[in-house]
Amino acid sequence: MSLIEQGIGFGLIQASIIAIASVGFTMQFGIANLLNLAFTEVMSLAGFVAYATLSHSVNLWLSLIVAACVGAVSSLAISKLLYDPFRRRGAKPFTLVIVSLALNLLLQNGILAVVGPSFFTYPVTLGQENIRVLHARFSGDELIIIGIAVGIMLALHLLLRFTQIGRAMRAMSANRDLARSSGIPAARVEAVVWAISGALAGIAGVVLFLNVSTFNPATASSFLVVIIAAAVLGGAGEVYGAMLAAVIVGEAIGITSLWIPSYSTVSAFVLLVIVLMLRPEGVRGILNLSREAA
Amino acid sequence: MSGVPTEMKLMRSAGPGPAASTLEQSLLSVAGVSRSFGGVRAVTDVSFAVPAGALYGLIGPNGAGKSTVMNIIAGTERTDRGTIEFRGAVVNRLADFQRARRGIVRAFQHATVFGRMTVLESLLVAYPDLPGQTYRDVFSRPRRRWAEREQALIERSVALLDRFDMRRTANEYTSNLSGGQKKLLELMRAVCADPVLLLLDEPFAGVHVRNVEAVCELLAEVRDGGVTILMTEHELNLVERLCEVVIVMARGSVIYQGSLTEGLREQEVIEAYVAG
Amino acid sequence: MSSGLSIYIATLFVYAGVSIIACWGLDLQYGSTGIPNFAYIIFQAIGAYVAAMLTLGPAKHGSVITYQQYLFGARLPYPLPILLATFAGAALSVVVGPFLLRRLREDYLAIAMLVLSLIATVVTEADVGLVNGTTGIFNVPEPFGSLSPATQSWIYVGTVAIGVLICAAVVRRIVHSPLDRVLRSVRENEVAASSLGKNVRGAKLATFIAGNTMAAFSGALLIEFIGAWAPSGWEYAETFVYFSAVIIGGRGRRGGVAVGAVILGVGISEAVRYLPTFGDPSLVGAVQFMFIGALIIAFLWWRPEGILPERKRVFRLPDEAPLVEVESA
């Protein structure tokens, strides 16, 4: 009995990390209509910067903020310097995939060149006590991760629902031209989206590195497909969809890891291929949460 | 005249059912066709028939559903209900390219060019009877087979281009053409594809005034060769000149079928156009 | 010339030839027909594995000496393993193709195929009984084992050269045929191609098979020479390198693609070898990939048509003696 709950609990942690990342990823997809395959490398960059600060006795929360800033700034730079010029030229979607893949290779290997191929661990342990929730055991780190994820989801919800910029973001995601003609400053909203999603990437990077026992420059990119899976399953650009999908994907991984550990992420891969082939719009439509009646 | 063989009736294998030759038997029969998109009715219970050798016009205000009907006939759009009969056979289940092979060829309203191919190549790719278009052909037949035929087709294509004074664009990439030239190419390409029924979506839209006469001549000749034409068009004097029968659509339904002059006297038709 | 140097140069030629064949196959799919086959590397891998297994013979299970595990094996005489491996690539394409080649957004399709490539790698590494997992298959004997290593290598260069010539002839025939126009019309505008009666799905499937067959052929040729093959040699990034070669060299043009294949397949890895060693040896690999990444972005921005752009097919028009220079419209 408790084994399954352990699996579910494990899945919940995965879901938390995936949620933060895939919401950021899907926001970028929604605003720019491109699959930013370099997303995980922004995560990685922020994660390594946090490693540097943590190694200099900066506390976790401050490091998180630093990571969020690193993520936001680099994402903004990437969109302004790389993606926007190509998009303005009318580049085809596949060209943008190649560009983002090239950027992924550039960043990943750039980080590799700087820090080397060895494995690292965050010099933090926040409470090794095993806390029991229902029948599953969590460590302090893991509960913090879940807490961060829940906090972020809540903050995003408040942002989207109750702030002007949040409403503008939703409007642009739903119908870009209509939003623009109603006076919404498209370029500024886009920049905000890149900054926020970049911050999410930064936080996701730290949280990911916190959760794995050791990490190296290749760790983050192994998460890319899982993140895409959640984003596509939730519907391109649908923030709430991505949250729900993250839970589904996270639990899928958690439960398969009980039986066939070496194949646990494959379940996410297979899920993604099936979704893309059969229903590329994901659960959009079934889950009409982020849309409001016009 | 040049570019169009006198007998365009057809070397292609006929689909099941007799080729329409009598006046009673229609080439195309649309019956009870309806289609909705996400709860919005685009077309409702549309029925009409087009006899072989005719040139019919499909007219009506914007949003009447004309393009949807054309798409349904061509096969790029499904129909929720009803049947499309072509040469006596129901073609609902056939994909768009299969219908094209049977002779339903369409030209789009917004010209669909093959950007990185030349004008001549765009025409050459349209001819269905050129051998060497499949892998099997390429590796089983000697090159001579298609080389000769290709020469003949090049001559035909250039003659077609001459009608519109476009010979000098023959070896140009189609992406370099003007809007009007692209539209003309769209029409020429459809003519080259060996049609039995030609579906033309606003063939005169965007075409320069000096080419209108040449287009009318081409359509007349194509008809004389035995091809049936169904076209949508906004310019009513052209419709009056070319189409013996018009089918008027408004708000998704057919509201009138008959001669244009008579139709323009019908109250419903007038209201439809005024209301838009 | 010393034997070592001689073998080294021969190796370069073999790598170049294999890369050229592989890139031609990908160019047929992507350059001519517009299929973004990010799973291309899987088919090269299939060719390599099948050729290896058909050369090595059946795996020895339960023997005292720990050996390799793999699914099947036979000791077939050269060049049978290569032929059968090529066929295996075609067969796999027939199975996988119809599922993959749907009317899907370009970038979604690319991602799906990329993920497929990843799944293949993970499954291969996890299920050791399949093709010996992460270790891979090794100790595959060279075909002309009785001769001196230098002679062997150069005879193999001859073999690869014949392979390149065969593929060149095949591709040439396709390019100089009406089929080439059909494929390009599918690449340019699927809807329009369909409206002209072209079976778009069929054309894509056939091209998928044809290109992947060349991939398998290249993999089989490669492994008979280098003797070992493991998942680390066919990560999804390898497909990206092939794509880069095609794009940088000039997609849709065989000569251009060949240039790209030589530059990216051989040139960069060899050029990097001669840089002064600095820091970690793994740094070399990192710098290589950084360079490729930057290079492809640069090309996509400044010269997307590649070093040698696709040739415009110009026809002689009737009623004209010499070919007239056409002015732009």
Q: pLDDT tens digits, chain A, 294 residues: what are they?
A: 467 777 788 888 889 999 999 999 999 998 888 899 999 999 999 999 999 998 888 888 899 999 999 999 999 999 999 999 999 998 888 899 999 999 999 999 999 989 988 899 988 766 666 766 666 677 777 888 888 999 999 999 998 888 888 888 888 877 777 777 888 888 888 999 999 999 999 999 999 998 888 899 989 988 898 899 899 888 888 888 899 999 988 888 888 888 777 777 787 888 888 888 777 776 665 544 444 333
State the smallest CA–CA distance between residue C12 and chain B in angstroms: 32
User: Would you state the torsion angle of the CA atoms of residues A243, A244, A249, A254, taken in this order, to the nearest 10 degrees?
Assistant: 100
Helical segments of chain B, H only: 66-74, 96-102, 119-124, 135-140, 143-163, 179-192, 209-224, 236-242, 260-263, 267-275
Q: What is the pLDDT of residue C78?
A: 74
Neighboring chain C residues of A262 at a CB cutoff of 8 Å: 122, 125-126
C121-169 pLDDT, tens digit each: 888 887 777 777 777 777 777 776 677 777 888 888 999 999 999 999 9
Is A110 inside a domain boundary?
A: yes
Q: What is the pLDDT of residue B21?
A: 40
- Out of A92, A106, A277, whose CB is closest to C99? A277
The DSSP line for A236-278 is TT-HHHHHHHHHHHHHHHHHHHHH-GGGHHHHHHHHHHHHHHH
Place of tokens 């891979």: C136
Q: Give dist(CA B88, CA B103) in Å, integer.
A: 13
Q: Please state the pTM of the whole predicted model.
A: 0.88
Q: Does C178 touch chain B (CB under 8 A)?
A: yes
- Out of A85, A91, A105, whose CB is closest to C292? A105
The answer to whether the CB atoms of A110 and C286 lie below 8 A apart is yes
Is C323 inside a domain boundary?
A: no
- Looking at chain C, which residue has its C-alpha nearest residue A82? C297
How far, CA to CA in Å, does C325 sit from each of B171, B172, C320? Answer: 9, 10, 11
> In sequence order, what are the residues at sequence separation of 6 or more whose Cβ sits closer than 8 angstroms to the Cβ of residue C23?
C242, C245, C246, C249, C257, C258, C260, C261, C265
Beta bridge partners of B253: B250
Q: What is the pLDDT of residue B73?
A: 95
Is B164 inside a domain boundary?
A: yes
Is C284 inside a domain boundary?
A: no
Neighboring chain C residues of B170 at a CB cutoff of 8 Å: 315, 317, 326
Q: Determine contact, residues A82/A181, Cβ cutoff 8 Å.
A: no
SS3 B29: strand
CB pairs under 8 A between B and C: 133
* CATH code, domain with B217: 3.40.50.300
Is B121 inside a domain boundary?
A: yes
Is C279 inside a domain boundary?
A: no
Q: Does C204 touch chain B (CB under 8 A)?
A: no
Q: What is the pLDDT of residue B4?
A: 57
User: Would you state the torsion angle of the CA atoms of residues C79, C80, C84, C87, taken in this order, to the nearest 10 degrees?
Assistant: 50
Place of tokens 């919401």: A23
The tally of domains found in chain C comes to 1
The tally of domains found in chain B comes to 1
* CATH code, domain with A144: 1.10.3470
Residue ranges of chain C with pLDDT lower than 50?
61-66, 321-322, 324-329
Q: What is the pLDDT of residue C272?
A: 64
Q: Give dist(CA C269, CA C193) in Å, integer.
A: 41
Q: Does B193 touch chain C (CB under 8 A)?
A: yes
Q: For the CA atoms of chain B, what is the radius of gyration?
A: 19
- Out of A94, A104, A109, whose CB is closest to C36? A94
State the smallest CA–CA distance between residue C199 and chain B in angstroms: 6
Q: Does A95 touch chain C (CB under 8 A)?
A: yes
- Out of C176, C187, C312, whose CB is closest to B118? C312
| C236-249 and C106-126 helices, crossing angle to 10° | 140
Residue B235, CA atoms < 13 Å, CB-side half-sphere: 13
Q: Does A269 touch chain C (CB under 8 A)?
A: yes
State the smallest CA–CA distance between residue C290 and chain B in angstroms: 31
SS3 C299: helix
The answer to whether the CB atoms of C195 and B114 lie below 8 A apart is no
Q: Determine contact, residues A24/A18, Cβ cutoff 8 Å.
A: no
Q: Give dist(CA C137, CA C48) in Å, integer.
A: 10
Residue numbers of the domain that contains C103: 3-236
Residue numbers of the domain that contains A90: 2-124+135-278
Q: Does A34 touch chain C (CB under 8 A)?
A: yes
Q: Does B74 touch chain C (CB under 8 A)?
A: yes
> In sequence order, what are the residues at sequence separation of 6 or more whose Cβ sits closer than 8 angstroms to the Cβ of residue A45?
A70, A71, A74, A107, A111, A205
Residue numbers of the domain that contains B223: 53-61+104-275
Q: What is the ipTM of this complex?
A: 0.87
State the smallest CA–CA distance between residue C40 and chain B in angstroms: 20
Report which of C306, C50, C87, C303 is spatially closest to residue C214, judged by C-alpha positions: C87
Q: Give dist(CA A175, CA A178) in Å, integer.
A: 6
State the smallest CA–CA distance between residue C270 and chain B in angstroms: 35
Q: Does A174 touch chain C (CB under 8 A)?
A: no
Q: Using the 8-state DSSP alphabet, how is residue C265 labeled?
A: I
The answer to whether the CB atoms of C317 and B133 lie below 8 A apart is no
The tally of domains found in chain A comes to 1
CA distance from start to end of chain B: 40
Place of tokens 């075909």: C143
Q: Does A99 touch chain C (CB under 8 A)?
A: yes
Is C253 inside a domain boundary?
A: no
Residue ranges of chain B with pLDDT lower than 50?
1-2, 6-23
Is A287 inside a domain boundary?
A: no
SS3 A232: helix
Is C294 inside a domain boundary?
A: no
Question: Which chains have 3 or more CB–CB distances shorter than 8 Å to chain C?
Answer: A, B
Neighboring chain B residues of C193 at a CB cutoff of 8 Å: 97, 114, 125
How far, CA to CA in Å, does A264 sit from each of A23, A149, A215, A250? Answer: 22, 22, 18, 10
Neighbours of A135 (CB within 10 A): 13
Is C271 inside a domain boundary?
A: no
